[in-house]
Amino acid sequence: MTIEALADLFKALSFAAYAHRAQTRKGSGEPYVNHLIDVARLLAEVAGVDDVDVLRAAVLHDVVEDTDVTADDVERTFGARVRALVDAVTDDNQLPKAERKRLQIEHMRHAADDVRRIKLADHCSNVATLPESWPTARQAEYLDWSERVVAACAGANAALEHEHARRLKAARAALARQA
* Residue 24: strand pairing partners: 31
Single out the catalytic residue among 65, 73, 75, 147.
Answer: 65
66 counts as catalytic = yes
CB-based contact 107:88 (threshold 8 Å):
yes
Report which DSSP code applies to 61: T
Q: Which of 87, 62, 88, 75 is nearest to 153 (CA)?
A: 88
DSSP 120-153: HHHHHHHHHT--TTS-HHHHHHHHHHHHHHHHHT
- In terms of Cβ atoms closer than 10 Å to its own Cβ (0-12, 13-18, 19+), residue 77 is middle
Q: How far apart are CA 168 and CA 140, in angstroms?
A: 10
Active site residue 65: yes
Among 38, 45, 53, 66, which one carries the catalytic annotation?
A: 66
Report helix, strand or coil for 85.
helix
Point out the residues that are catalytic: 65-66
